[in-house]
Amino acid sequence: MSASEFFDWLVSEAISADVLKLTQLTVASEIDNLSASFECEDLEAEFDWERLLLAGSMLAKSEKRGHKEVALRVATAAISLNTRSVVKDAGAILLEKLSNHRSAELAAERNLIASDRSSRLGATMRLEAYRRKFENSVLIKSDGSWLNVNEFQREFWKGASSDGSWLSASAPTASGKTFLVLQWLVDSMGTSKKKVAIYLAPTRALVTEISNSLLKILNGSEKIEVSSLPLKEKYLSAISSEKKIVFVFTQERLHLLANGLDDQVDVDLLIVDEAHKIGDHHRGVILQDAIERISRASTKIKIIFVSPATQNPSELLEDAPEGVARIEVDSDIPTVLQNVLLADQVPRKPKEWGLRLMLDEETVPIGVLNLGNKPAGVKKQLAFVAAAAGERGGTLVYCNGAAEAEEIALLIRLRTHNQ
């Protein structure tokens, strides 16, 4: 039996029933106003944690997304459910084996695991933990510090640091793409001769968010200026002085800067966030034109495309000039669990909605959500279900346009106010 076949057996047979129960428990624990369909009074008696964590540790070595996702579910359950401290510590170690250091740190910050975990580990485990931490870290040259990263982030940092190359990076949502890109951008500007960098964000809201994140990373440093205004003077000042600049633009603002400089704009580094939007009908054309316009004017430009879990990210590198290395970083390794739930009204009970979790091509019951009010119409149903399920921490609701978003937001506020 090959390693891959062994991992498949673990997932499909050996621990499948226990992982399903753990999934139901962990998902239910995150939802408010829920009468759970599956409950467990004694987690120690119900589950063989040593067996589950051993299986998770082996699955963490697999390269397949499905195997790593099962390991992540075991680790999450071990930490978030009401388990013994030794089980929680083992869950945190499993997260680190999955290169998910940030989740382990977050669990400690939220007091899900006791602090100073390393003091409770034996010498061998401490050495192993230090080895993993070293292997999954990158050096920030500008200040000499080390940054813990996951597998995707490590490969991105290595590829982006390669001179004379264009890079296209694709990874699932919540894999830390934007965080690492900004860290690398600041480090690259601070340790190289690059003078002008442009970060393209798809919306004005993201322009503000990215600008604030950059300023936070710079922490008051005056060597690099951050600007979201397409001003000719700021560009010329950076070119003629020692001070460097990072412009954070939408594609329209990039065109405005190029117009103001009569296309005499020389950019060292261009980062295109949400690069898959090049495929959009209208704004995608504007984005493609902006990229081509800047790359024509800048003979030594380095371009980095960042997109969320897209197919064939290498296609974005087709316009790279001859002699420029094309690097593709494509990852589908999960770093967080994303659960898709279906909500259906219980027959003749408009205040009660059954929740089912989508797993592969099947659904499993999670419980009955109690709304407290009778929602009339699809919009009220969406608003009331979202408000009831996320009473502790809120719920992200996707809407079709600004007007509908405002209407549903008002309904959520009304529902919350009437509780």
pLDDT in tens, 331-352: 877 778 888 889 999 999 989 9
Separation of CA 346 from chain center? 34
pLDDT number for residue 417: 64
Distances (CA, A) of 327 to 158, 169, 258: 10, 8, 27
Cα distance between the two ends of the chain: 57
Buried b (16+ CB within 10 A) or exposed e, 300-337: ebbbbbbbeebeebeebbeebeeeeeebbbbbebbbeb
pLDDT number for residue 3: 86
- The predicted-structure confidence for 190-203, as pLDDT tens digits, reads as follows 999 899 999 999 88
Rounded distance between C-alpha atoms, residue 283 and residue 201, angstroms: 12
At a CB cut-off of 8 Å and minimum separation 6, what does 186 contact?
142, 214, 217, 218, 224
- The predicted-structure confidence for 238-289, as pLDDT tens digits, reads as follows 888 878 999 999 999 999 999 999 999 999 999 999 888 888 878 888 999 9
pLDDT number for residue 245: 95
At a CB cut-off of 8 Å and minimum separation 6, what does 326 contact?
165, 166, 167, 168, 314, 317, 320
In this structure, which amino acid lies at residue 60? Answer: A
- The predicted-structure confidence for 51-101, as pLDDT tens digits, reads as follows 999 999 999 999 888 899 999 999 999 999 988 989 999 999 999 888 888
419 pLDDT more than 70: no
At a CB cut-off of 8 Å and minimum separation 6, what does 136 contact?
99, 101, 148, 149, 150, 151, 154
For 329, the token pair is 């970083």
Rounded distance between C-alpha atoms, residue 307 and residue 177, angstroms: 9
Separation of CA 409 from chain center? 25
Mean pLDDT for 30-43 is 81
Which one-letter DSSP state was computed for residue 10? I
Question: 34-41 contacts: CB < 8 A, separation 24 or more?
Answer: 34/355, 34/366, 34/367, 34/368, 34/369, 34/370, 34/389, 35/367, 35/368, 35/370, 36/366, 36/367, 37/365, 37/366, 37/367, 37/368, 38/365, 38/366, 38/367
Averaged pLDDT of the chain: 88
Give the closest residue to 4 by CA, choosing from 69, 54, 59, 51: 59
- The predicted-structure confidence for 157-188, as pLDDT tens digits, reads as follows 999 998 888 999 998 877 888 999 999 999 99
Task: Spell out the domains of the chain, with CATH numbers in brackets.
Answer: 3-134 (no CATH), 151-330 (3.40.50.300), 341-418 (no CATH)
Rounded distance between C-alpha atoms, residue 239 and residue 230, angstroms: 15
pLDDT band at 418 (very low <50, low <70, confident <90, very high): low
Q: Is the separation of the CB atoms in 96 and 104 below 8 Å?
A: yes
Q: Across the strands, what pairs with 367?
A: 36, 355
304 pLDDT more than 70: yes
